[in-house]
């Protein structure tokens, strides 16, 4: 059975309703199709939502312990299929094998493990003076996830939804569907009750919009571009459902004068280039003291020059391709714009790296002497492009860092933790990282402004899938 041509609805794999439509899935390392995936329709959305609605009554009343045990079984099955997930992510979105193994798949494992801990200690009920407060599952959740960190976004939605007692319909990105297929098999293997988890492949205008508009969907959790997020919110507004969004970013990285410049710039450049720059929280705007600008540019250019770019399955590759021809063209256009607008090109630039043809490979690119009004300093590029912006005073750097429609993440480098926290409180961003700390699935993740609303990860993610009920009298 070729389940890439099927959907997972009400606990079983089935063909889409009506005429079978498929979409080629492109290997970004070659630029050629390697498989096809079935595309669902509005009728398939209706069937999946009906299954989720039918399952909600029972599942929402299940015990917290039973849901924790279910999450443990999912975690065990996830770990059993770890290698299959690594292969899927590398093939469908071009992540180098080591990145896929150590980060792309690992973060999904971490989210599941964290939610097992959270749900057992979370207070769903509390007694107050004269009344009780009960937190209950919001209902049927539509989940629309992107291609850039596919398992991160699937697990940080599915895990808290299950912990809350919600049922769900997942629409993964049609560009990178195979990790979601493996994940659906994991859910089936773990014994998730029929109808609790459903998977419908499809594009945004067809399946995504049908989910957002559906009257029996109580919540939409969307991760993707700000443009698409606005569209989802408008469609969902007619049925007054909850809309949770994690959208774009243009994160600032302020390097203060007392920081170790070599370390701060080197780590900042690597954080920008990670995942070929395809991370919404990537620190793509680096603010450095004006008197050390040229030195910072040389350091960052040196980092870029050392990175091996190539196909996901090649040994030693650090940066794979970007995900698609459309993404490649967008990044090239913005690099060209940076050159034309007068930024100093210190590394990388237009075209593919030498010796690489066919795939969507981009040279890790560093621009110096970037001014805040340039497009490369304002638009989310979603590619391995670093903009270095000189500043004179810390107050000016802070003002320019906040001068963006986005507010997902921010970064500060300094030897003075008190000063760092003072600045962090003034940054309009959902998460502020000081001196490149280790990633933690317990830390709330989400944005201010046009980077979205609501939070994901740990107990903060669980909150999003719950309604609060007051019970008075008796």
Q: Which residue in 166, 280, 379, 464 is the catalytic one? A: 280
> Which of 390, 352, 360 lies closest to 372, judged by CA?
390
Q: How far is CA 29 from CA 197, 212, 319, in A?
A: 32, 33, 11
CA 309/CA 322 separation, integer angstroms:
11
Alpha helices by DSSP H, listed for 190-314, are 209-213, 226-237, 261-273, 293-306
36 is catalytic: no
Q: Which residue in 92, 174, 209, 246 is the catalytic one? A: 246
What is 283-331 written as a DSSP string? --EEEEEGGGHHHHHHHHHHHHHH--B--TTSTT--B---S-HHHHHHH
Contact (Cβ atoms closer than 8 angstroms) between residue 338 and residue 374? yes
Q: How many Å separate Cα 207 from the centre of its chain?
A: 20
Residues with Cβ within 8 Å of 205's Cβ and at least 6 positions away in sequence, in order, are none
* φ, ψ at 433 (rounded to 5°): -105, 125
Burial of 150 (0-12, 13-18, 19+ CB in 10 A): buried
> Which of 36, 30, 32 lies closest to 16, judged by CA?
36
Q: Which residue has the tokens 């940066």?
A: 319
Contact (Cβ atoms closer than 8 angstroms) between residue 245 and residue 168? no
> Which of 217, 220, 215 lies closest to 204, judged by CA?
220
> Which of 276, 258, 321 lies closest to 91, judged by CA?
321
CA 268/CA 434 separation, integer angstroms:
11
246 is catalytic: yes
Output the six-digit token pair for 144: 């629309």
User: Which residues are catalytically annotated?
Assistant: 246, 280
């Amino acid at each position: 059975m070729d389940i890439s041509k099927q959907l997972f609805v009400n606990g079983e794999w089935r063909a889409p309703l009506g005429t079978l439509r498929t979409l080629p899935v492109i290997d970004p390392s070659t630029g050629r199709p390697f498989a096809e995936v079935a595309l669902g329709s509005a009728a398939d959305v209706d069937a999946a939502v009906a299954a989720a609605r039918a399952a909600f009554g029972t599942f929402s009343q299940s015990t917290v312990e039973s849901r924790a045990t279910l999450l443990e079984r999912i975690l065990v099955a996830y770990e059993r299929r770890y290698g299959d997930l690594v292969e899927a992510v590398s093939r469908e979105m071009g992540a180098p094998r080591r990145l896929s193994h150590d980060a792309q798949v690992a973060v999904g494992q971490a989210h599941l493990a964290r939610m097992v801990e959270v749900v057992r200690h979370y207070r769903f009920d509390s007694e107050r003076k004269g009344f009780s407060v009960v937190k209950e599952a919001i209902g049927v959740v539509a989940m629309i996830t992107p291609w850039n960190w596919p398992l991160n976004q699937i697990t940080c939605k599915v895990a808290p939804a299950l912990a809350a007692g919600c049922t769900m319909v997942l629409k993964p990105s049609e560009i990178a569907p195979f990790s979601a297929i493996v994940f659906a098999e994991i859910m089936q293997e773990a014994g998730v009750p029929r109808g609790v988890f459903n998977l419908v492949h499809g594009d945004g205008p067809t399946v995504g919009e049908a989910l957002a508009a559906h009257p029996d969907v109580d919540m939409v959790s969307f991760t993707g571009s700000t443009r698409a997020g606005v569209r989802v919110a408008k469609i969902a507004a007619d049925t007054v459902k909850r809309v949770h969004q994690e959208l774009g970013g243009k994160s600032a990285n302020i390097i203060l004068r007392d920081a170790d410049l070599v370390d701060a710039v080197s780590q900042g450049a690597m954080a920008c280039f990670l995942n070929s720059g395809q991370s919404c929280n990537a620190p793509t705007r680096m603010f450095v003291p004006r008197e050390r600008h040229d030195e910072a540019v040389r350091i960052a250019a040196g980092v870029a020059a050392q990175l091996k770019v190539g196909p996901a399955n090649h040994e030693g590759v650090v940066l794979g391709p970007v995900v698609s021809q459309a993404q490649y063209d967008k990044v090239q256009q913005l690099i060209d714009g940076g050159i034309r607008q007068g930024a100093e090109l210190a590394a990388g630039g237009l075209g593919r790296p030498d010796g690489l043809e066919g795939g969507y490979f981009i040279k890790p690119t560093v621009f110096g002497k970037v001014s805040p009004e340039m497009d490369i300093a304002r638009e989310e590029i979603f590619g391995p492009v670093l903009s270095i912006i000189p500043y004179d005073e810390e107050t000016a750097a802070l003002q320019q860092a906040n001068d963006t429609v986005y507010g997902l993440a921010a970064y500060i480098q300094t030897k003075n933790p008190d000063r760092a926290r003072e600045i962090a409180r003034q940054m309009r961003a959902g998460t502020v990282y000081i001196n490149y700390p280790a990633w933690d699935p317990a830390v709330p993740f989400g944005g201010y402004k046009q980077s979205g609303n609501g939070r994901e990860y740990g107990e903060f993610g669980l909150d999003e899938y719950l309604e609060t009920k007051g019970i008075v009298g008796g």
